[in-house]
Amino acid sequence: MVDRSKIQIDLIKLVSGERLVRLTEPRSGLALEKKLDPKRSVVRQKEQLLGVFEAALARAEAITA
């Protein structure tokens, strides 16, 4: 089972002004990073990426179990 509280979320602003969101799970070492669309809500993009990340973690746990 994926524990959302263990997922680290970083919002990174690049020199060019663009922003990235990076999700990391320290125990597995899995990380996912995506450039944010400035025309869309950051919160919605974070939630969408979090869903994808949790699915990837669950799949990785199922494979290694």
Looking up residue 17, the CATH number of its domain turns out to be: 3.30.160
Q: Which residue intervals of 1-65 are DSSP H helices? A: 42-64
pLDDT in tens, the chain (65 residues): 667 888 999 999 999 999 999 999 998 888 999 999 999 999 999 999 999 999 988 888 888 76
Query: Number of structural domains, the chain?
Result: 1
Q: What are phi and psi of 48, to 5 degrees?
A: -65, -45
Q: Report the DSSP pairing between strands 19-25 and 30-35.
A: antiparallel
pTM for the predicted model, two decimal places? 0.82
Domain that holds residue 20: 4-64
